[in-house]
Structure 1
């Protein structure tokens, strides 16, 4: 046999091998599809057609491949001539392991592409598919968790151009650039949580989680587990799986502790250790975990007084008080009322606006609940009003016979030489006593004042007032 005959035999064998290989793969695979240079389907086997909802393979002929097989990359292969040997294709039933190859004519010109779905026969790829599905679920869960833990506000949402408001934003922006703990001080409703969000958003940790925990909202017996998490079966009734705490969830990001003045003494020492040593142990575990968390704390109570009374640790107070930021009450920034009202009414929708006499009325109000109280008032007024213009009479009706309005101008110090602190205590005592008498119970009084129930009870106890 001469060389020409041998070459001819080689070509015949090669063609037969290619035809045989195609038949084997086509018969054993989950599906096969062939497209032309423009990625239009020229052939698809019956199994593949049924998988994508076609009763007859002829229905697919001439259609762009993406119309029949969403997410297909055969167009890319038909244009580039580069094979994609193993890939994952998501379908409505389950993912497929697929192979995509270019097709060339006898002159080597690219004329199309062929794709094989190999999932059902490549049993050795089952672990890969299972791992792929697990990774997809974990990725979706992580994305959902990160989205839920992202800060929702920036400095643009802290509205105000008065001198007190600008000073707050100036100090907060400086604090955002550092890693030092920040202590937000201010009455309830002044925007402490919003500012904490804004500080995180402007910090280098903005792409990491923002986690908040309200000391007054969680029973004392559960606080330690909320902070540090629990080991599997740490106590009776505990889950067999480890439960991460807020320090673990906030890893790399910011942990915001609201109403930190309500933190139990025994937990204060453990928090101090985390701040100093950067490590902690989950409840029921001997494992020491590293902590990389930036701490922002907030309180509406007088922490210095709490230190003197022994209800708050002095060493923790000094550790938290690295950068204190006092948020002024609304009565100290009346110039910001127009902008605040405009922004709050825009959030409520409906095109509402305030008449000049309404703004004058708001400027005379005492605002014990601050911005939270203002928002509640405006929302109540819009619900009670039929038109878009809110005047003083409508706002007065929305306010109702509440003590804060009557006491908008605090009583002046008595002739006996009353100090500022004494005058404030007297004003607060009268305010709380009148609110209790008007509301009839502490829960309703707290709602009207814009205070949390725990804050109201704490102030009542400090002033020696019975909650009846």
Structure 2
């Protein structure tokens, strides 16, 4: 580099700089340092630094060969005295011999350093704040303790979850809508060795197709019209060392499916518009309420991706399959709504347990929201529940029971109904008798076959066994 260009670069720096040889003769000084000293630089060059700065440590640095960083340097005396912060560095030739020294004046006074320090501290505080926010946003909200209930189907699912959590293979969570698949995904991450890593989730059905790939894989700067010049980190990269949860994976666009399969196989991700491979290490958890094999046959889901993600299937039981858990879940939902003091009457609880809950826990929550909003007092009664809950055990097939299982509570009448004998019977007793009649009739129609009977009643086999045990129903052989 030509000397004149080198000098122009040094002159343009906002730092004060001077160089001297081993005798202390000033070889170069820029305008900033000359201004600090209070003289023209042409008058300072070729003078001895000791004559310019009597208290200089330049000679000491060259004698010891040790650099001095962040030293306070006092220039001048009296009212013109200035305190600066300097770095002094010995200069060596190719043989390691000291041939001079360079002094860098970083701050013209301690106030500048204090201002910079305060600014750095503010920036560090903001970075820490955003880091905590990001960690909070990428952390799980639920653990296994949040999955309430003691029914056999639920305990089986929780035990299977614990086993899966200790592996690193993809998990496919399946179950009807409203059963809590996201809760299970959170609990899986919290129980796994990756619990300290990020938990990143995306609902594949909620992201527009044209934005899906840039959200999942990220994009390079200027990859498309409107893209940020700095690019964007995708959710897969954010999930590094943690878990990526793809909810409603059955709605993922086909083009993105192919790219996801490549990421799973190669453990690298390419941002949209970039040819640079970025290594990633994450555990994939997917969830769906659809039959993936069926949509594979329809051509809207890749068969190879299905087999890649379905090695560890986890079936979340419907609320009807774990009806015995409903009292526990209902109490927890009321407490979460700030209604812990609200009680549920015996008759109302019977309806909650007997109802088939096509919307599962989400529907149960909505029913309790309505009930607490219209109830008078601190007890939820039958008439406070939605009308749909007052119908249960209604088969969807012909040739059997029809509307025999229909039970409608009339708000305008007093509680209780009249039997043929005239003796009043509680709603609970009426419900049990009707439900038992439904089960007995269905068993008779299906020759005691429990599988066909459960299908006929539109309930799971586990629920049928539970109800038969509860009511003492025995199938004829």
TM-score normalised to structure 1 length: 0.61
CA positional deviation for 1:134: 3.4
Residue matched to 1:160: 149
Match of 1:195 among 177, 184, 193: 184
- State whether structure 2 residue 198 is matched by structure 1 residue 209: yes
User: In 1, Cα distance between the equivalents of 2:368 and 2:109?
Assistant: 63
The 5 Å alignment of 1:61-460 reads: 121=110, 123=112, 130-350=119-339, 351-395=341-385, 399-400=386-387, 402=388, 406=391, 408-411=393-396
User: In 1, Cα distance between the equivalents of 2:180 and 2:116?
Assistant: 51
Q: Partner of 1:333: helix, strand, or coil? A: helix
User: In 1, Cα distance between the equivalents of 2:456 and 2:118?
Assistant: 68
Q: Partner of 1:160: helix, strand, or coil? A: coil
Structure 1 pair 291–408 and aligned structure 2 pair: CA distance change class (3 A): farther
CA positional deviation for 1:188: 0.3
Q: Partner of 1:216: helix, strand, or coil? A: coil
Q: Partner of 1:295: helix, strand, or coil? A: strand
Structure 1 pair 124–354 and aligned structure 2 pair: CA distance change class (3 A): closer
CA positional deviation for 1:240: 1.5
Contact 1:256-1:297 at 8 Å conserved across structures: yes
Q: Partner of 2:272: helix, strand, or coil? A: coil
* Structure 1 gap segments, 5+ residues each: 1-19, 30-117, 429-468
Contact 2:237-2:280 at 8 Å conserved across structures: yes
Structure 1 pair 271–420 and aligned structure 2 pair: CA distance change class (3 A): farther
Contact 2:194-2:242 at 8 Å conserved across structures: yes
User: In 1, Cα distance between the equivalents of 2:123 and 2:145?
Assistant: 40
RMSD over equivalenced CA pairs, Å: 3.3
Structure 1 pair 300–420 and aligned structure 2 pair: CA distance change class (3 A): farther
Contact 2:394-2:457 at 8 Å conserved across structures: no
Task: Say which one has the larger Rg.
Answer: 2
User: In 1, Cα distance between the equivalents of 2:114 and 2:220?
Assistant: 35
CA positional deviation for 1:249: 1.5
Contact 1:28-1:121 at 8 Å conserved across structures: no
Residue matched to 1:59: none
CA positional deviation for 1:257: 0.5
Q: Deviations over 1:345-368 (max 9, x none)?
A: 111123111111111111221211
Contact 2:395-2:456 at 8 Å conserved across structures: no
User: In 2, Cα distance between the equivalents of 1:251 and 1:223?
Assistant: 19
Contact 2:333-2:365 at 8 Å conserved across structures: yes
CA positional deviation for 1:179: 0.9
TM-score normalised to structure 2 length: 0.60
CA positional deviation for 1:233: 1.5
User: In 2, Cα distance between the equivalents of 1:314 and 1:197?
Assistant: 26
Q: Deviations over 1:119-164 (max 9, x none)?
A: 9625467666655443332222111111121101111111110000
CA positional deviation for 1:244: 1.1
User: In 2, Cα distance between the equivalents of 1:424 and 1:306?
Assistant: 23
User: In 1, Cα distance between the equivalents of 2:231 and 2:121?
Assistant: 24
Bigger proportion of residues as helix: 1
